[in-house]
Structure 1
Amino acid sequence: MVLLVVVVLASIAIGARDIPLPAVLHPTDVTERLIIRDLRFPRTVVGLIVGIALGVSGALIQALTRNPLADPGILGVGPGAAFFVALAVGVFGIGSITGYLWFAFAGALVVTVVVYVIGAAGRRTADPVRLVLAGVALGAVLGGITAAMTLLDPVAFDAMRFWSAGTIADRGLAVVWPVLPFLAIGLILAAIAAAPLNAIALGDDAASALGAHVTRTRVVVVAAVTLLAGGATAIAGPIGFVGLMVPHVARWITGPDQRWILAYTTVLAPILLLTADVLGRVVMRPGEIPVGIVTAFVGAPVLIVLIRRTRVSGL
């Protein structure tokens, strides 16, 4: 929590124009007050909310599938939501978040179900390797179609140009309010599913013997992932690797208890996202690198390390 407070202050203070810490806490200059109120503070709040949503959805997917390489991006949930948003903008001419939010939810749900069905085809439970392969393949296809649609109609997708790279810049609180109730419901569902997920980690038969409702837990987790990943994508675009990296860090700290993993992920995920956003502002100052590119740059080596580790299978 202390580190989160430090990162939040850094997110407000650092940018094209740095603001001293005393001025962050008590701004007196009119320009600095406007920068904090209209730009930095809303951006930081968006980073907090999107980070929590992506981190918790990644932890839920890893626990449900017992796959250490699962996250909304790798399993195609983020690209699916982004594809449906592209359909909303390009085909139906919907430009407001209140309109394409439902498309983001639909895309996240459809891709989650399709990937899980492919991964579980011919088996009682989903195979982790099949899930990753199906998610990467489906995400690549949907990402390619989305890019093609953007090239065919650049005027309609001009507003989505930075959104498609994954960014929290210029995403004011007006974008967050319509999504916030759905994200809150997703977090509540995640809290409800945490204890049964501990039982499911032992296998479906053992979970049933311990009194856990396996099917109901899966439905709750899918609903939570749909709301969290779809809502985060609607706000900030497809941002990958946050849901992959943070649950592993939380697991190293807490052990296998999903209740503590979700709790730590709720704090650690916005730390990662805001830190990546601050780095994106510093590296190419006075320009910026979208946070989705920074997390990908950091997350790709982490993914390689995770694949090479032999202990990652022990979820």
Structure 2
Amino acid sequence: MSSRDLHQAPGRSRVTRISGPWFGLIITLSAAALLFSMFLAISFGAKEMTLGTVWTAVVHYNPAVTTHQIIHELRLPRVLGAAVMGAAFAVAGALMQGVTRNPLADSGILGINAGATLMVALSFAFFPNMPYSMLVVMSFMGAAFSALSIFLLSSTSAGGLTPLKLTISGAVVAALLHSLSSGIAIYYELSQDLAFWYAGGVAGVRWSHLKLLIPIIIIAIIGVLALSRSISLISLGDEVAANLGVKTKRVRLLGMIGALVLAGVSVSAVGSIGFVGLVIPHISRKLVGVDYRYIIPVSALLGAVLLVFADLGARMVNPPRELAIGAMVALVGAPFFLYLAYKEKRSL
């Protein structure tokens, strides 16, 4: 794929061909920022610990030491969960923006997170003892149902599927599904149990969750990386992609399945956190252009950094109480969404 081929992306930005050293530098700096953010997040909390204590607990864990237990059983899975789910949400958003050619696409904005949350609410109401592995499956099914509803609603209206109609349909479906989730929570007295999924948070992530979710997310990201060249071409338009031999319908389907898996399993662990998949892919494009072979890995790292810092901020604003991590991300994401919406309106 040449820089001449990749000349436009969601948001209509021009592409410059990036060099291997520049991409390597971006990856290195992003990985360093992730490690730094994780180390800070593990160090600070209700009980402050020295950096030496944190390092010793990570490298030479001693279950007899209380501080080591706090770090290993509570903070490490929490921080690792924030990093993994942040990467998943960011890659899901990048995929949706690429295959739909909609710069406003995000699993939260398009209502996919709302579908996953609805299935969590139904599971709590009718199957309270459901094992976590089945909750992940139900969450994915909810995300898939929501996505199908949005695409059907958008594509059957006059004029066919457009980015604007997709965004409006997503907002409508999200409002409906959130209302249903709230009704179920009130009727079955689940409001307190579901508050976590509405606001989003990583405090409940445990090693048992990560053992199930991390392999799924890694496999999904590797799978969509195999589609990255085709998604880059689709982002230029169906005609261009088809002329270059891309089977657009198949790539779109596989790309959306990847996004649904990433978003669905993440909601089952940390709740409905929006805007990560909106903000991070745009930042990634500014750094590395619109080639999805670069966007996906950079988005994964930056998404992880964002959610780890958001969780740290949620814990540090008013200790020992915690703010909702979704609210922290929204402080950045909501203004960014309004800026993109205004930019898109001016370009029409």
Decide: shared fold, TM above 0.5: yes
Asked whether the equivalents of residues 117 and 197 of structure 2 are also in contact (C-alpha less than 8 Å), the reply is: no
Superposition deviation, residue 185 in structure 1: 2.9
Identity %: 31
Identify the range of structure 1 (91-100 vs 67-76) with the bigger mean alpha-carbon deviation: 91-100
Rounded Cα–Cα distance in structure 1 between residues aligned with 2:97 and 2:346: 11
Superposition deviation, residue 312 in structure 1: 9.3
Q: Deviations over 1:201-234 (max 9, x none)?
A: 2211221110111011011112101110000001
Aligned ranges 1:45-56 → 2 under 5 Å: 45-56=80-91
Rounded Cα–Cα distance in structure 1 between residues aligned with 2:244 and 2:257: 23
68 and 7 in structure 1: CA distance in 2 versus 1, 3 angstrom threshold: same
Name 1:9's counterpart in structure 2. 39
Q: Of the candidates 104, 107, 119, which is equivalent to residue 154 of structure 2?
A: 119
Name 1:18's counterpart in structure 2. 48
Asked whether the equivalents of residues 149 and 173 of structure 2 are also in contact (C-alpha less than 8 Å), the reply is: no
Name 2:339's counterpart in structure 1. 305
Asked whether the equivalents of residues 116 and 131 of structure 1 are also in contact (C-alpha less than 8 Å), the reply is: yes
Asked whether the equivalents of residues 97 and 178 of structure 1 are also in contact (C-alpha less than 8 Å), the reply is: no
Name 2:234's counterpart in structure 1. 200
141 and 35 in structure 1: CA distance in 2 versus 1, 3 angstrom threshold: same
Larger Rg: 2
Letter in 2 for 1:288: E
Name 2:12's counterpart in structure 1. none
Superposition deviation, residue 303 in structure 1: 1.2
TM-score of the two chains, using structure 1 as the length reference: 0.93
1:270 aligns with 2:282: no
Identify the range of structure 1 (55-64 vs 300-309) with the bigger mean alpha-carbon deviation: 300-309
Superposition deviation, residue 161 in structure 1: 2.7
Identify the range of structure 1 (24-33 vs 193-202) with the bigger mean alpha-carbon deviation: 24-33
Q: Of the candidates 128, 139, 159, which is equivalent to residue 93 of structure 1?
A: 128
Asked whether the equivalents of residues 186 and 223 of structure 1 are also in contact (C-alpha less than 8 Å), the reply is: no
Q: Which runs of 5+ in 2 are unaligned?
A: 1-30
Identify the range of structure 1 (53-62 vs 116-125) with the bigger mean alpha-carbon deviation: 116-125
Aligned ranges 1:129-168 → 2 under 5 Å: 129-154=164-189, 156=190, 158-168=192-202
Q: Of the candidates 95, 115, 118, which is equivalent to residue 60 of structure 1?
A: 95
Runs of 4+ in 1 over 6 A off after TM superposition: 311-314
Identify the range of structure 1 (57-66 vs 188-197) with the bigger mean alpha-carbon deviation: 188-197
Identify the range of structure 1 (94-103 vs 116-125) with the bigger mean alpha-carbon deviation: 116-125
SS in structure 1 at match of 2:273: coil
Superposition deviation, residue 298 in structure 1: 2.3
Superposition deviation, residue 92 in structure 1: 3.2
192 and 276 in structure 1: CA distance in 2 versus 1, 3 angstrom threshold: same
Rounded Cα–Cα distance in structure 2 between residues aligned with 1:194 and 1:312: 29
Aligned ranges 1:218-257 → 2 under 5 Å: 218-257=252-291
Name 2:4's counterpart in structure 1. none
Name 2:211's counterpart in structure 1. 177
Superposition deviation, residue 91 in structure 1: 2.4
Rounded Cα–Cα distance in structure 1 between residues aligned with 2:50 and 2:144: 44
Rounded Cα–Cα distance in structure 2 between residues aligned with 1:103 and 1:310: 35
Asked whether the equivalents of residues 11 and 274 of structure 1 are also in contact (C-alpha less than 8 Å), the reply is: yes
Q: Which runs of 5+ in 1 are unaligned?
A: none
Rounded Cα–Cα distance in structure 2 between residues aligned with 1:257 and 1:311: 25
Rounded Cα–Cα distance in structure 1 between residues aligned with 2:346 and 2:70: 43
Name 2:295's counterpart in structure 1. 261
Asked whether the equivalents of residues 193 and 221 of structure 1 are also in contact (C-alpha less than 8 Å), the reply is: yes
Name 2:77's counterpart in structure 1. 42
SS in structure 1 at match of 2:212: coil
1:128 aligns with 2:158: no
Rounded Cα–Cα distance in structure 2 between residues aligned with 1:207 and 1:312: 27
312 and 35 in structure 1: CA distance in 2 versus 1, 3 angstrom threshold: farther
Letter in 2 for 1:82: T
Identify the range of structure 1 (263-272 vs 13-22) with the bigger mean alpha-carbon deviation: 13-22
46 and 313 in structure 1: CA distance in 2 versus 1, 3 angstrom threshold: farther
Rounded Cα–Cα distance in structure 2 between residues aligned with 1:273 and 1:37: 20
Q: Of the candidates 94, 102, 121, which is equivalent to residue 137 of structure 2?
A: 102
Rounded Cα–Cα distance in structure 1 between residues aligned with 2:241 and 2:301: 28
Letter in 2 for 1:200: I
